[in-house]
């Protein structure tokens, strides 16, 4: 009986030591990832991109908390994550044919007097000239893109299922773009994000320069 009690306490001791060791290693790992993120932000570079991406994917909340503790605000971190994601997807995106790409534009980019009607596939631009989407959509469609103006993320989901693009560009505010990147990752679609220049629900401004430079990415071999 005494031997059994001794074995049990030894087992508990080993288990508690293993738990403490695991927690210490986990904490060290988090600190390492947060350190790499902070250094990357400071030097405007992407050190160990795969490690950082895994950190954001599996331990987003904890990494954010540590970075926040170090003085990096949440939005700045999200913008960094989007830039990191774009840089890692760039070559796959460039290698995808234009005909296999789609662009999702948020409806808030339209003029408040937009005459476009809502359809099951989003809003169809009537090219009235009241907003910048007019010539932008023309240009993108001319390149071979399927372009959607969407009032919400459910449209994106449906259009991706219907048209099966291999690569997409998501335009929107910081939160929308981040959610869009995570959604596309989950369903295995190559994705690039473009953050709007202004936030809000009406007549927002897209970063058209960034949008077009991403849209024009193509492999040097094609
Ligand atoms: S150009 Fe198109 S999207 Fe812009 S306001 Fe006119 S119809 Fe709407």
Instruction: Please tell me the predicted confidence (pLDDT) of residue 84.
Output: 96
Hey, whose CA ends up nearest to atom 2 of ligand 1? 125
SS3 label, residue 199:
coil
CB-based contact 177:204 (threshold 8 Å):
no
Please provide the distance, in angstroms rounded to a whole number, between the alpha carbons at the two ends of the chain.
Answer: 77
Distance 123 CA to ligand 1 centre (A): 9
* Size (the chain), residues: 222
Name residue 170's beta-bridge partners. 104, 193
Instruction: Please tell me the predicted confidence (pLDDT) of residue 55.
Output: 87
Distance 203 CA to ligand 1 centre (A): 11
Q: Is the pLDDT of residue 6 over 90?
A: no
Instruction: Please tell me the predicted confidence (pLDDT) of residue 199.
Output: 87
Probe target for ligand 1 pocket from 109, 116, 129, 139, with the most ligand atoms within 8 Å of CB: 116
Each residue of 13-71: pLDDT tens digit?
A: 999 999 999 999 988 888 889 999 999 999 999 999 999 988 888 888 888 888 998 89
Q: Which residues contact 125 (CB under 8 A, 6 or more apart)?
A: 116, 133, 134, 137, 149
Report residue 3's pLDDT band, with 50, 70 and 90 as the boundaries. low
Distance 5 CA to ligand 1 centre (A): 78
Probe target for ligand 1 pocket from 106, 114, 132, 149, with the most ligand atoms within 8 Å of CB: 114
Instruction: Please tell me the predicted confidence (pLDDT) of residue 76.
Output: 93
Distance 19 CA to ligand 1 centre (A): 59
CB atoms within 10 A of CB 123: 20
Each residue of 75-130: pLDDT tens digit?
A: 999 999 999 999 999 999 999 999 999 999 999 999 999 999 899 999 999 999 99
Q: Is the pLDDT of residue 182 over 80?
A: yes
Probe target for ligand 1 pocket from 123, 125, 132, 150, with the most ligand atoms within 8 Å of CB: 125
User: What is the gyration radius of the CA atoms in the chain, in angstroms?
Assistant: 23
Each residue of 122-178: pLDDT tens digit?
A: 999 999 999 999 999 999 999 999 999 998 888 999 999 999 999 999 999 999 999
Residue in 172, 130, 165 with CA at minimum distance from that of residue 151: 172
CB-based contact 185:142 (threshold 8 Å):
no
Each residue of 19-33: pLDDT tens digit?
A: 999 999 988 888 889
Cα–Cα distances (Å) from 75 to 67, 72, 202, 206, in that order, read 11, 9, 21, 17
Cα–Cα distances (Å) from 124 to 128, 147, 167, 200, 222, in that order, read 11, 9, 21, 21, 31
Q: Which two tokens stand for residue 17?
A: 């030591």
Q: Which two tokens stand for residue 201?
A: 């629900």
């Amino acid at each position: 009986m005494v031997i059994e009690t001794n074995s049990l306490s030894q087992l508990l001791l080993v288990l508690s030591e293993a738990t403490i060791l695991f927690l210490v290693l986990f904490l060290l790992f988090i600190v390492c990832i947060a350190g790499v993120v902070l250094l990357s932000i400071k030097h405007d570079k992407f050190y160990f991109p795969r490690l950082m991406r895994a950190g954001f994917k599996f331990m987003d909340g904890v990494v954010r908390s540590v970075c926040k503790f170090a003085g990096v605000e949440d939005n700045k971190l999200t913008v960094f994550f989007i830039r990191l994601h774009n840089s890692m997807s760039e070559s796959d995106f460039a290698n995808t044919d234009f005909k296999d790409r789609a662009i999702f534009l948020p409806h808030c980019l339209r003029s408040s007097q937009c005459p476009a009607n809502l359809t099951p596939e989003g809003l169809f631009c009537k090219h009235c000239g009241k907003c910048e989407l007019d010539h932008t959509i023309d240009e993108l469609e001319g390149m071979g893109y399927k372009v959607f103006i969407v009032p919400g993320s459910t449209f994106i989901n449906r259009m991706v299922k219907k048209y099966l693009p291999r690569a997409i560009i998501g335009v929107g505010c910081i939160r929308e773009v981040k959610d869009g990147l995570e959604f596309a990752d989950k369903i295995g679609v190559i994705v690039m994000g473009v953050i709007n220049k202004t936030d809000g629900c009406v007549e927002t401004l897209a970063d058209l320069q960034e949008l077009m430079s991403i849209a024009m990415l193509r492999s040097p071999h094609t």
